[in-house]
Amino acid sequence: MKSFVFLTAALFLVAAVSASAYDEDDLPYDYYSKSCPKLECIVHKKMEEWIKKDYSLAPALMRLHFHDCFVRGCDASILLDYEGSEKNANASKTLRGFEVIEDIKRELEKECPKTVSCADIVTVAARDATLAVGGPYWMVPYGRKDGTVSNAKEADQLVPMGHEVVTDLLELFQSKGLNVLDLVVLSGAHTIGRTTCESLQYRLYNYNGTKKSDTRLDHLYLNYLERKCRWASEYVDLDAVTPKKFDVQYYKNLQKGMGLLLTDQLLYKDSRTAPIVTALATQPDEFGSLFSASMVKMGNIQDYLSTDGEVRLNCARVNTPTNY
């Protein structure tokens, strides 16, 4: 019991130190307080409308934010739509929610033209998506600029696809200013959402070329997945127990061998991440607080100078002299 309490305290110490390291570089919270004061009200209303129609858009928008931030920082480069852009990368082929961002953008252009960046819209939409499925609320810093470059090859090189080892994930996160705690906490977003069976069939039928299943999988869960995933195009919930609830069941699943993606299950097998999984599995309130902090950190990833970007009028296209 003492070791568990110590681990919990250690988690919050890491979070506190990590957060303080970002203080100087944080974006301001009041960036739009005068130029677009109704921003959050407009986004919140639109998000309620869309998620009421399609609940699955909530995890989709959270994932869209992750994909955006890990390639060139949080600059809405994932939204640019042309041949060879991130949106058309193999890593992006199952991304959804683009129409939600465009709808919000159109409404904001009516209220405060040429003011709110698409990057900021993606970020606050991810927060409201989390809130809509029972997750925590956090204040969103603003002032991101929209990038003018988007490269599919970069997305395919950087975005995790579910079969990486923990060391690869840690190196990626560290390259973005995030740490091991952020990795485990942000992976907890897999408490909701779904993926295609294509991404895990190799674990079911031919793991590491053995023509057998991954022995880490719980046998009852394996039987279910073998029936569910006969076709690669089928979808399966990331959390088999509470797929529509933002909670700590994801971490409990990992302890039972029910991590759907290999990258998830390995978090419970690696000595650097397993203790964090164990701690979070029984502490829903702490998970919510840590998730909020890690989402703010991820939202602050900027691989560009603030003077390099723009505020796009259409999130799918860069501005031109004639449309701005």
Residue pLDDT, tens place only, 242-272: 999 999 999 999 999 999 999 999 999 999 9
The percent of residues in the chain predicted with pLDDT above 70, rounded, is 90
| Burial class, 24, CB count within 10 angstroms (exposed 0-12 / middle 13-18 / buried 19+) | exposed
* Strand-pair partners of 78: none
Between CA 125 and CA 75 the distance in angstroms is 14
CA separation, residue 313 to residues 89, 145, 317 (Å): 23, 12, 8
| Rounded mean pLDDT, 57-82 | 97
**What was the pLDDT predicted at 21?**
46
- Active-site residue (options: 44, 65, 67, 219): 67
Contact present, 85 and 150 (Cβ < 8 Å): yes
Q: Which of 9-13, 50-54, 199-203 is the most confident on average?
A: 50-54
Between CA 26 and CA 81 the distance in angstroms is 29
Examine the pLDDT at 19 and tell me if it is beyond 70.
Answer: no
pLDDT band, residue 30 (cuts 50/70/90): very high
Is position 247 annotated in a ligand binding site?
yes
Between CA 18 and CA 322 the distance in angstroms is 44
Residue type, 69: C
Residue 24 DSSP class: G
Give catalytic status of residue 67 as yes or no: yes
pLDDT band, residue 20 (cuts 50/70/90): very low
Between CA 56 and CA 69 the distance in angstroms is 21
Contact present, 178 and 297 (Cβ < 8 Å): yes
> Under DSSP, is residue 302 helix (H, G, I), strand (E, B) or coil?
strand
| Rounded mean pLDDT, 58-65 | 98
| Burial class, 20, CB count within 10 angstroms (exposed 0-12 / middle 13-18 / buried 19+) | exposed
- b/e map of 274-287 (b: 16 or more CB within 10 Å)? bbbbbbbbebeebb
- b/e map of 150-171 (b: 16 or more CB within 10 Å)? bbbebbeebbbeeebebeebbe
pTM: 0.91
234 Cβ contact partners less than 8 Å away, ≥ 6 residues apart: 196, 197, 228
Q: What's the pLDDT tens digit per position in 306-323?
A: 557 999 999 999 998 765
Examine the pLDDT at 144 and tell me if it is beyond 90.
Answer: yes
Q: Which two tokens stand for residue 189?
A: 């977003």
CA separation, residue 110 to residues 24, 32, 42, 93, 318 (Å): 33, 15, 11, 31, 19
pLDDT band, residue 26 (cuts 50/70/90): confident
Contact present, 192 and 126 (Cβ < 8 Å): no
Q: What's the pLDDT tens digit per position in 177-214?
A: 999 999 999 999 999 999 999 989 999 999 989 999 99
Is position 156 annotated in a ligand binding site?
no
| Rounded mean pLDDT, 28-49 | 97
Q: What's the pLDDT tens digit per position in 70-95?
A: 999 999 999 999 999 999 999 999 99
Residue 196 DSSP class: E
Examine the pLDDT at 157 and tell me if it is beyond 90.
Answer: yes
Is position 43 annotated in a ligand binding site?
no
Q: What's the pLDDT tens digit per position in 287-297?
A: 999 999 999 99
Is position 73 annotated in a ligand binding site?
yes
Is position 77 annotated in a ligand binding site?
yes
**What was the pLDDT predicted at 96?**
97
Residue type, 181: L
Is position 303 annotated in a ligand binding site?
no
Is position 44 annotated in a ligand binding site?
no
Is position 86 annotated in a ligand binding site?
yes
Least confident of 16-25, 36-45, 294-303: 16-25
CA separation, residue 96 to residues 135, 186, 192 (Å): 20, 19, 15
